[in-house]
Chain A
C-alpha cells in the first residue's frame, strides 16, 4: 500500500485534486482547427489536381467554413487565456521549441489565406455581392488567376495545422496520455475526416459524393488503426502510460470513448458509407454528422482525460 497526503493542505483551483486548467475552449479550438485544416487540404488538393469542376463543393462551397471555423477557434483560444490583455505577446517572438508558438504563427498565416480563398469564390456564391472598391475587384481577379499558386501554401499549411492540433498535446511529457507521437497523425487524420464529412453535407453531386465517401472510409480506417496502435503503445510502455490507458480500458472514460468516438463516430458511419457505396439509398447526412460528432467528442475526451494522467512518485 502507498498513500500520499497533502499534510500542509493544498486545494489550488483547477490544479487539485487533479489538473483541469483547460476547459471546453481548448477541445473546441482543436476541433475547429482540425475541421478547417481538413476542408482547406482537400480544397487545395483538388485545385492543384485541376478538378475544380468535378469537386465544386470541396473547392468552392465548403471553403466558406474554414475562415469562420478559424476565427471562432482563435476566439475560443482567447477565451481560454487567463491573462487576456497580454495575448499580443504571442506574436512578439517565435519559439520553435513551443508547439503553441509555431501553431499561433501557422494560424496567423493560414487564417488570412483561408479568407482570401473563400473571398475569391464569394461572387460565385452570391452574385450580387459588391466589393465596393476597384482595388478589391482587381485583387479578386488576381487571386482567381493565381489560385493554383495559393493552393500550394494552403495545402502545406493545412497539414501543419492538422498535425499541430495533436502535437500541441503530445509535446507535454508530464501528461502520459498525451505524450505519444501518434497523437499528431491521429488528430490530422481525424481533422481531415471531419473536413470531408462537412463537405459531404454540402455536396449534391453524385461523383463528388462517391469520391469523398471513399476518402472518408480510408481516413476512418487509418484512424481506427492509429487508435489501436495508440492503446497498444500505451500497454507496452511505462507504468504511467499503462495507467493512462486504463482510463479507456475499464476506467472512467471507457463508455464514452468506445460508444461515442469509436462505435458511433467511426465504425457506424463507416458501415453506412460502405452500404452507400454498394448502392443502398441512405441519407448521406447521417454518417457525416456522426463523424463530425465523434471528432468533437474525441477531442473533449482527450483533453479532459489527458489532464488527469500524471507521473507517479
Chain B
C-alpha cells in the first residue's frame, strides 16, 4: 500500500478551502497551517502563465526528516505516511531543517507538527479533509498500488511533476500539468 495525492494545477483556483478545512479538522493553532496555496507566475506580460498549487508535506519515500530525527519521533507508518510522535519529539528542529519543502513547523506546545494525510480519517475510509472539501474536485487521493484508486487513475491519464525531485526525496504529492 502506498498513499499518495495528485493535485490538478489546471482545476485548482486557489480558493484556500483545503487550508481552512485542514485547520479546522486538525485543530491547527491560529497563525499556523499544515497546507498552503502557492501561486507561481512565470513569463513576461502579456505572455504569463500561472500555476496554482496546494502544497503540504510530501510524505516522501526517502524522507530526510525521518532520517535525521535523533529520537525516532518522526517515522513512517503503513501506506508511507510520515508522522510525528509528539511524546517522543524533543523539538530540536532537525526535521524542520531537513525538509526541502518547509512543510514542518514547531507547534506552540513544543513538538513538531505537519500534515498527516488525515490518517484518522483514512482509518475510517474517508478522504483527507482537504480533498473532501475541494470545490473544484482538483485533488485525488488513494493507494498508488491500486490501479483503480482515484490517484492512480489521475496519474495514468495526465502529465505530472513533483516538487524538487533533485532533492532525492521521492515526494508522493503529484501535480498534474
Contact = CB atoms under 8 A, between A and B. Distances in A.
B70 A95 contact: yes
A86 B90 contact: yes
A138 interface: no
A22 B106 CA distance: 11
Interface in A251-283: none
Given A80-B93, A82-B110, A83-B110, A8 B16 contact: yes
Interface in A230-264: 238
Interface string A150-182: 000000000000000000000111110000000
Contacts of B160: none
A81 to B, nearest CB: 5
Interface string A26-68: 0000000000000000000000000000000000000000000
Interface stretch (B2-10, B95-103, B133-141, B151-159): B95-103
- Most B CB contacts (10 A, CB to CB) among A6, A10, A15, A97 go to A10
B88 A7 contact: no
Interface string B32-56: 1100111111111000000010000
B70 to A, nearest CB: 4
A9 B15 CA distance: 11
A310 B42 contact: no
Contacts of B106: 13-14, 21, 82
A130 B38 CA distance: 67
A3 B68 contact: no
Contact of A12 (B31, B86, B94, B98): B31
Main secondary structure of the interface of A (DSSP, over half): loop
A8 B128 CA distance: 18
A83 B92 CA distance: 8
B94 A7 contact: no
Contact of A172 (B33, B68, B89, B168): B68
B37 A6 contact: yes
Contact of B14 (A7, A92, A173): A7
B73 A311 contact: no
Contacts of B14: 7-8
A19 B97 contact: yes
Contacts of A85: 110
A101 interface: yes
Interface string A275-313: 000000000000000000000000000000001001111
A311 B100 contact: yes
B87 interface: yes
A98 B68 contact: yes
Contact of B91 (A84, A99, A104, A238): A84
B147 interface: no
B91 A174 contact: no
Contact of B38 (A7, A100, A101): A7
B40 A3 contact: yes
B149 interface: no
Contacts of A172: 64, 68, 94, 97-98
Contact of A22 (B88, B93, B102, B164): B93
Interface of B: 14, 16, 19, 31-33, 36-44, 52, 64, 67-73, 86-94, 96-102, 105-106, 109-112, 163-164, 166-168
Given A15-B102, A22-B97, 15 more contacts: A1-B41, A1-B42, A3-B40, A7-B37, A10-B33, A12-B32, A13-B32, A21-B93, A21-B106, A83-B109, A89-B88, A97-B67, A99-B68, A173-B98, A311-B166
7 tightest CB-CB pairs across the interface, nearest first? Answer: A82-B91, A83-B91, A83-B110, A8-B37, A101-B70, A174-B100, A100-B70
Interface of A: 1-16, 19, 21-22, 80-87, 89-90, 92-93, 95, 97-101, 104, 171-175, 238, 307, 310-313
10 contacts: A1-B43, A2-B42, A3-B40, A7-B52, A8-B16, A10-B33, A13-B31, A86-B91, A92-B71, A100-B70
